[in-house]
Amino acid sequence: MPDPNMSDLTSYLPMIGSLLGGGLMGAFVTAAVSHYRSRLQPVGRRIEIDPILRPKPAGTTLAAKITVEHDYRQHTFDNLFLARIQIVNQGNKDYDEFSFGITLPTEDFVVYLEGSGADRHHAITPSVTVTPDKQAQEVDFSCKPFNRGDSYTLSAFIVTNSAGGPGDIAVSSKLPVKFVEIPSLGETMGQAITAVSLELVLGRTGRLLNK
């Protein structure tokens, strides 16, 4: 004779399984959302350095110099480079204020810099004033605000004591973020062309196999 208690338990099993399944799924979704929100926020970074005047090659007797004027004073350099540094908030968090800094190699110096945001409501401010008379290798910046999708650009004029030109510029922040490279337009177009080419090859291969 069937046990009535076992029959009752069997009738409750689907309900218990549903509750456990729903609870586990809810906990999983909550944990996934929490992990997504608390992850290191990605900040896009792109650095491009263009030569204005390169250092004189070794053994060359002809020496070129460039003169710039700042505050009605003239300054002469035998090399000068323009670095463009762009940062973009690619995360899911808005910042009322975002601080970051740049660090140059020991042989490179910033002699002047300018920063710009998208409009007059976005300001980027350096921690120190950099001029040809007050050169710097480490400069911190404050961006107000730095909301999702916001972009700021720095233009830094650099001189170097290295015959090979300026080295890599390090970008860092004390905030819990990770800097990721922003591909250039040429790199993006190259990736798109590669993807289209691959799709065409795979499509052609599939048609041949179907035959």
What pLDDT digit, counting tens, does each position of 26-69 carry? Answer: 555 454 445 455 579 999 999 999 999 998 877 778 888 999 99
Is residue 154 domain-resident?
yes
- The better pLDDT of the pair 74, 39 is held by 74
User: CATH number, domain at 60?
Assistant: 2.60.40
Is residue 54 domain-resident?
yes
pLDDT of residue 183: 87
Average pLDDT score over the chain = 83
d(CA 49, CA 57): 19
pTM of the full predicted structure? 0.71
- Region 121-143: mean pLDDT is 97
d(CA 128, CA 170): 18
Q: Tell me the three state secondary structure of residue 109.
A: strand
What DSSP designation does 183 have?
P
Identify the domain containing residue 162 by its residue range: 45-179
Domain count of the fold of the chain? 1
Residue pointed to by tokens 């929490």? 34
- Region 174-182: mean pLDDT is 96
pLDDT of residue 193: 55
What order do you get walking across the sheet with 138-144 strand by strand? Answer: 123-126, 138-144, 98-103, 170-172
